[in-house]
Amino acid sequence: MTAVLGTAGDSAANREGDADFDIVWPWSRPQRAGTGIVLRVKDEARSMPWVLPPLLRTATEVVLVDNESSDGTPDVARRVAEEAGLSDRLTVTSYPFRVSRCGPEHLHTPADSVHSLVWFYSWSFAHLSTTYSVKWDGDMVLTQEGEELLRELAWRLPGRDAVLYVPRHSLYVESDRVAYLDLGLFNAEPFGYPMGPSYPHVKAFEWELRIHPEGVDHVKLPEGTCLELKYLDSDEFAHWTDVDAFATSQRTRRKRREHQLFTDLVEGRWESHAASGLHRIEVPAGSDAHVVDHVTDVWLPAAERPLVDPSLRRLTAQDRPRGGRAAS
């Protein structure tokens, strides 16, 4: 197993020769005990009010890396942090390069290019000052239970050789009052890692991958602690080269299910998926809650456990604890 970017020394230079976006490895400078979260975003302004506050309440620091948003995401994030009284925990920075989309485009982009997912992630995580790090997406929302558990882990994980797995359930948002929750797919990806040269980002076949040494502990949040928002009025697959890029691989089974559900929901066909774990959720009459708040605060806490029917579980390659394999 070979990391694509060498982590020896204090820094790494990109092939474009843009010194402002070279990577200065965080372990080359003093680090403080704690957990930092890296939130990479592009046009996620409408999700920030749900995504950002739980992270700010949980982590030692949150680094938001904006990749050329056109909807004012950085300004919305600053406002949300200010309203939460936690601006001191938020750092906002910008990555002004087009990043290769997942699939063939990513595979054909050199890892040491500023356009590579590997470089983008490595550069983003280099902004943390903490000994433990967690990757987060701009559409991932912690439930109240998830926030409480992650807050506890945020001070337990630093100093341990442990990888944190976060189960996610897709919530397809149709409107302010109606959404569809997919509980027919088991998906828990590794999102949390110690900061150090033994945990680098490497180039995998469809996307970037962060690898780890053998023998580390694996810690997993319970199901129902994190939602992944998908808006039916947007292009949720724009970060892929094309949908054919995940048409056949065992590694992309989850993406195929997401694309099928998304397509059918846009076209009004949801009933055919009810037997496979898809739930239509509507805010009750008389409530002025947004459907995202209703799902996190009311529906999920009252739902029967286990959330995912064991007979419906679909184990994907991303669910298996592993060190990973780098692509050349």
Q: Is residue 139's pLDDT more than 50? A: yes
Segment 256-271 mean pLDDT: 90
Q: 48-63 as b/e, with b when 16 or more CB fall inside 10 Å?
A: bbbbbbbbbbbbbbbb
| 183 in any annotated domain | yes
| 324 in any annotated domain | no
Q: Cα 93 to chain center, whole Å?
A: 18
Range of the domain at 134: 11-319
| 154 in any annotated domain | yes
pLDDT digits (tens, 9 = 90+) for 204-237: 888 889 999 999 999 999 999 999 999 999 876 6
Segment 230-251 mean pLDDT: 67
Of the ranges 17-26, 51-60, 252-261, 274-283, which one carries the lowest mean pLDDT score?
252-261
Express as a percent the part of the chain with pLDDT over 90: 77
| 201 in any annotated domain | yes
Q: Is residue 131's pLDDT more than 50? A: yes
pLDDT of residue 316: 39
Q: Is residue 140's pLDDT more than 70? A: yes
172 in Cβ contact with 232 (< 8 Å): yes
pLDDT of residue 254: 75
Looking from the CA of 314 toward its CB, the CA atoms found within 13 Å total 17
Distance CA 135, CA 276 (A): 29
| 6 in any annotated domain | no
172 in Cβ contact with 262 (< 8 Å): yes
pLDDT digits (tens, 9 = 90+) for 99-130: 998 888 998 999 999 999 999 999 999 999 99
pLDDT digits (tens, 9 = 90+) for 143-192: 999 999 999 999 999 999 999 999 999 999 999 999 999 998 777 899 99
Q: What are the φ/ψ torsions at residue 235 (nearest 5 degrees)?
A: -95, 95
| 209 in any annotated domain | yes
How many structural domains compose the chain?
1
Q: What is the pTM of this model?
A: 0.90
| 219 in any annotated domain | yes
| 28 in any annotated domain | yes
